[in-house]
Structure formats: C-alpha cells, structure tokens
Structure 1
Amino acid sequence: MADRHLIDVHILLVDGDRLLLTQRGGSDAFSGRWHLPSGKLDAAEPVTAAAAREAYEEVGVVIDPADLRVVHVTHVAGSGPEPRLGLFLHARRWHGEPTNREPDKCSGLRWVRLDEVDELDVIEYPAVGIRAYLDGDAVAFSEHGWVPVAV
C-alpha cells in the first residue's frame, strides 16, 4: 500500500429530484460504472475551489465555491492503488448545462431520479457519499474498504 493518501472531491449536482451521474469510460475495473463528477485536490488548493474546478473541467458547469457544502466525508481503501479521503459536496447552485467535457475518461452523463440511484451500477466509493446525502447524514464520516487491524 502507498505511503500517502489522496484527497478526492465529489460533486453532487441535484436538480429537483434528479442527480447527475457520469459513466466511467476506459478499460479498467470501473469502466461502464456510474460515478459523480470528481477529482483530486491540486497542491495548495482549497477543497471548495477544487470541487468547483473539477465540476467545470468534467461537466462544464460553473459553481461559486461559496455554493458548495460538505455532506459527507469517507476514508476509503481498495478503490485504487492508494487510500483516499473522499469529500462529498452538494452544489446549491450552478450555472450552465452539464455536458461531457472529458469524453476520453467519461462515456456519458445521465440525470437519474434520486429514488432510482440504487438501481444503477454505481461504483461503491461514490455510492457511500451518495447514500449519506440521500439519507440526510450531513457532514457524517465513514470508513469504507478497510480491513480491521488487530491491536
């Protein structure tokens, strides 16, 4: 296992009773599965600025960082070569119509009714944050994929 932990931001764009999901492209184990617009923090970048940047880069919407609120934090193992701290942010407002701006990484976008999210093949890691949002566990913390360590 790597000696560092990545920090990821995941953006929940909710329009009424619908959530925007992206479908992973490529040929890895997650190809074809559903995810949220997301990405890693850059050096010296605040969390809300990273989330706004990733939303613009991936789906072309403009979000004022002040319109983002953290709805869940999870510490994840097994979703890639390095452990991750995932921060899930709900965008209260945004400007623009979502479009697929990274067709080399994303094979599609889809608005999904909130009551239908569980019927899709969502990658386990983002599913944790989506479920917390849907359950109303604002600013809750979870751990996912870790094997218990004997003390």
Structure 2
Amino acid sequence: MSEWTVHGSRTIYTSPWVELDLVDVEPPGHPRYEHHLVKWAPVAATVLLNDRDEVLLMWRHRFATQTWNWEIPSGIVEAGEDLTVAAAREVLEETGYQIDPRRLVPLAYNQPIGGMSNAEHHVFLGRDAVHVTEPVDAHEADRIEWIPLDRIHEMIDRREIVAGVAVTGLLQLLARRCAY
C-alpha cells in the first residue's frame, strides 16, 4: 500500500493550544475527500520515581470526559522550548517539585490519535525530585500523592489511571523496571 496524497488543506479554527484543519486527501485507489486534522503542540510529561519505588501522581477531574483519575505531570511544550525543560517546568508548576531537566531519561513516546491528529507525547523518567513550593497551577490537581509502583497495574485495571500519557509512561516504566 502506498501513501495517501494530500492535495491541500485549510484551517477552520486556531487558538494558542489547538488548530483544526480540513485536509483534501486521496487514499490509494479511493476518491478524494476532506479529512479532519487536529494539530497540537507536543506534550512533555514526567513519571517521577522516588527511592521507595513510588510515583508522584495527581488526582484530578477532566471535564471533557467527566472522569476523576490519577495522572502524571504533563503539559504543552512552548514554542522553541526543549522537551526536557518543558517536562521539568510542568512538574514544578503542577506539583511544586523541582527536578533537573538534564537528568531526565526518555521513557516513552507515542502518537495517541495518529489517524486524525499530529499529537505527540514525550514521557520522561525523573528522579531526585525536591519539594520547593506549592504548585503554581493549584487548579491542576485535587490531591498530589506518592503511590507505590506495585499498585499501578491494579489502578489501571480499575480505571483510576486512564489518561493515555500516564498509562503509556507508567506501563513503560513497569515493563522496563530493571533498566531504570
């Protein structure tokens, strides 16, 4: 099978966080049509692991899905910002913990909605977090807690952790636990 042909696109909505385009595409052997494309800035996220094999999670509500769940610190990478710097910034803003971006280790990468979005999630592993302040973005989480890593599988099974970037990063850490 060959690649789809893109004949052009037009933006129908844009904001600082998201852009929605209609793209004139032609799949091989099929007629042309307009396909929605949602464009996002990259997301940087961090799984923070302490010396007791606990991960730092944030309990939060997501209005779009009407769910409460545990998540890892994550957010949009600003234009021109280094991925690790963005990941460390988000940790500080959302949790009040400081980490050294130079010590972050790539943990996972995914494209969560590849069929209709350019979204990219970059997940890093962080250690040696130091609590230095209260979260700047206090609205980001109802609670922030260190959760034992051996509870993560059951929490995912019970749908207490459902955010794709968190599930991806945490499962990758569990799968390669000996390597980290």
Partner of 2:161: 122
Out of 95, 99, 102, the residue aligned to residue 59 of structure 1 is: 95
- Contact in 2 for aligned 1:100/1:108 (Cα 8 Å): no
- Contact in 2 for aligned 1:6/1:82 (Cα 8 Å): no
Counterparts in 2 of 1:2-151, with a 5 A limit? 2-15=37-50, 16-29=52-65, 31-77=67-113, 82-96=117-131, 100-120=135-155, 121-125=160-164, 126-136=166-176
Give the share of equivalent positions with the same residue, in percent.
Answer: 24
Larger Rg: 2
**How far has the Cα of 1:70 moved from its partner?**
0.5
TM (norm. structure 1) is 0.78
**How far has the Cα of 1:109 moved from its partner?**
1.2
**How far has the Cα of 1:82 moved from its partner?**
4.8
**How far has the Cα of 1:26 moved from its partner?**
4.9
Structure 1 residues 128 and 112: CA distance shift in structure 2, 3 A: same
User: CA RMSD for the aligned pairs?
Assistant: 2.5
- Contact in 2 for aligned 1:71/1:137 (Cα 8 Å): no
Counterpart Cα distance in 1 of 2:144 and 2:133 = 8
Partner of 2:5: none
Higher fraction of strand: 2
Structure 1 residues 85 and 23: CA distance shift in structure 2, 3 A: same
Counterpart Cα distance in 1 of 2:172 and 2:133 = 23
TM (norm. structure 2) is 0.66
Unaligned regions of 5+ residues in structure 1, if any?
Answer: 139-151
Aligned length: 136
Determine which structure has greater relative contact order: mean sequence separation of CA pairs < 8 Å that are 6+ residues apart, divided by chain length. Answer: 1
